[in-house]
């Protein structure tokens, strides 16, 4: 369950970051653009963490 929450948060944060990044780029606001990129990266991290949790739940095949 936690892995689904992490992936969901990751998608939301990444989408929000992409929007902020694009808005900052259009408005030529470097600070907002950088914040957007940072938020995207955090979202990618959350998604990766969720995927790792899913992988840890699956039994290993030998």
> What's the pLDDT tens digit per position in 13-48?
888 989 999 998 888 899 999 999 999 999 998 888
At residue 38, the pLDDT reads 93
The band of 4, judged by pLDDT with boundaries at 50, 70 and 90, is confident
pTM: 0.68
The closest of 26, 2, 6 to 14, measured between CA atoms, is 6
At residue 9, the pLDDT reads 85
- CB of 44 within 8 A of CB of 10? yes
Q: Which residues contact 54 (CB under 8 A, 6 or more apart)?
A: 3
The DSSP element (H or E) to which 25 belongs, if any, is helix 2-26
């Amino acid at each position: 369950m936690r892995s689904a929450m992490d992936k969901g948060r990751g998608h939301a944060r990444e989408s929000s970051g992409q929007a902020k990044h694009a808005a900052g780029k259009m408005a030529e606001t470097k600070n907002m653009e950088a914040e957007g990129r940072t938020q995207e990266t955090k979202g990618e991290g959350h998604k990766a963490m969720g995927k790792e949790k899913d992988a840890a739940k699956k039994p290993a095949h030998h």
